[in-house]
Amino acid sequence: MTRLSRKSRDRSRAIALSLRLYHFCLRAYPQQFRHTYGERMMRVFRDHCRAIAEQHGVLSLIPLWLHTFSDLIYTACLERWQVFKEKNAMVTSRYPQQFSLRLWFALTATIIAFVVSLVASLNLYLLEDANPLTQAAYRVSSVLRFSYDVVYLSALAAGVAVCAIVGYALVQRTALVTTGLLIVMLLVAFAGFGGMLVRHVSTFLILLLIFSALTLISLLIGHVATTRALRFLGQRPAAVLGACVSVSCVLLINVVALVLHTLLLNPVSHALYMQGQIGDTHLNFSLIAMGIALLALIGCAISLGFALHSPSRQSS
């Protein structure tokens, strides 16, 4: 009698545990499906568990679980895929896939800002790198060294973000573009400062960390902008707009570092900067490039702001 009741208690416990576990596993299904069929599936599983455990014992729940779990994984994947497809189709049909005038304007402004910042950064690099005057200045001020590195790394990160614009414009699959961007990121890192790996491993790792952080944060901000733009734009224009936002974010860091660096360095080595004098005038190419980069970035930010402003809000 006692053995019987103990057996039945063990069975009840095993079934209760199975049900709790299955209830948790049901989270694998999309919310809508779970809401409609979750309770019914629980009841079917409960009945099945009870019948199996009564007929064949508690251990027979193991093959039942194996079958149920594989069924759950397979059907949950199919359901998720279907929801993804439906969502995609809904977005595609609801919003225009072609680029609006505002988006073209934002895209052009972003590319111009990128090119100008790149020229300003390259000018800084050519002027200062391996110059004894600046090397001496770097030894005196660590902020100067750091701002120089940030200018360089942010220019590289902006290059990766520009690749994101091209990727989203040409390929519609986010997973494919993300994988491509990760590969580009690694290539740019090794081509940009891979030489450090041989001479100063720790410096290389620090640079890689800063570069990765800059790139990933900018792409993340771009993703947030894409999510917002999806409310009134199709998948592709929204993704391109998000990538433009990524570029502008990293360019903002680039220009801020550029300004900071120039202001810090100029009093120390004025003679060096005067090498970049244009013709017979007192105009300094570095300062002009920096000013244009700043203006281009402001223009880019305004155009992006317009593009991210939903049409309904504009009209109201």
Q: Which is nearer to another protein, 74 or 104 (CB)?
A: 74
Residue 277: phi and psi, rounded to 5, are -65, 140
19 touches another protein (CB under 8 A): no
Q: Which is nearer to another protein, 19 or 260 (CB)?
A: 19
d(CA 241, CA 230): 10
d(CA 42, CA 72): 12
Residue 284: strand, helix, or coil: strand
Q: Could you tell me the smallest distance in angstroms from the CB atom of residue 57 to another protein?
A: 18
Q: Which is nearer to another protein, 41 or 127 (CB)?
A: 41
Q: Which is nearer to another protein, 44 or 183 (CB)?
A: 44
List the interface residues with another protein, window 20-59 (CB under 8 A): 29, 33, 36-37, 39-41, 43-45, 47-48
Q: Could you tell me the smallest distance in angstroms from the CB atom of residue 210 to another protein?
A: 46
DSSP 114-138: HHHHHHHHHHHHHHHTT-HHHHHHH
71 touches another protein (CB under 8 A): yes
Q: Could you tell me the smallest distance in angstroms from the CB atom of residue 91 to another protein?
A: 16
Q: Which amino acid is at 203?
A: T
Kindly tell me which residue out of 15, 52, 61, 76 binds another protein, with binding defined by CB under 8 A.
Answer: 76
Q: Which is nearer to another protein, 76 or 161 (CB)?
A: 76
* Positive/negative CA dihedral, 295, 296, 297, 298: positive
87 touches another protein (CB under 8 A): no
Q: Could you tell me the smallest distance in angstroms from the CB atom of residue 142 to another protein?
A: 60
68 touches another protein (CB under 8 A): yes
74 touches another protein (CB under 8 A): yes
d(CA 34, CA 78): 14
138 touches another protein (CB under 8 A): no
Q: For residue 196, give every residue at least 6 positions away whose Cβ sits within 8 Å of its Cβ, in sequence order, or none.
A: 203, 204, 207
Residue 57: strand, helix, or coil: coil
Q: Which is nearer to another protein, 40 or 282 (CB)?
A: 40
Residue 302: phi and psi, rounded to 5, are -65, -45
Q: Could you tell me the smallest distance in angstroms from the CB atom of residue 39 to another protein?
A: 8
10 touches another protein (CB under 8 A): no
Q: Which is nearer to another protein, 68 or 218 (CB)?
A: 68
Q: Per the structure block, which two tokens stand in for 176?
A: 């494919």
C-alpha closest to that of 298 among 248, 241, 245: 248
Kindly tell me which residue out of 60, 75, 212, 266 binds another protein, with binding defined by CB under 8 A.
Answer: 75
List the interface residues with another protein, window 194-223 (CB under 8 A): none
Let me know: does 211 contact 156? Beta carbons within 8 Å.
yes
Let me know: does 67 contact 48? Beta carbons within 8 Å.
no
Residue 269: strand, helix, or coil: coil
Binding positions for another protein, rule: CB under 8 A: 29, 33, 36-37, 39-41, 43-45, 47-48, 67-68, 70-72, 74-76, 78-79
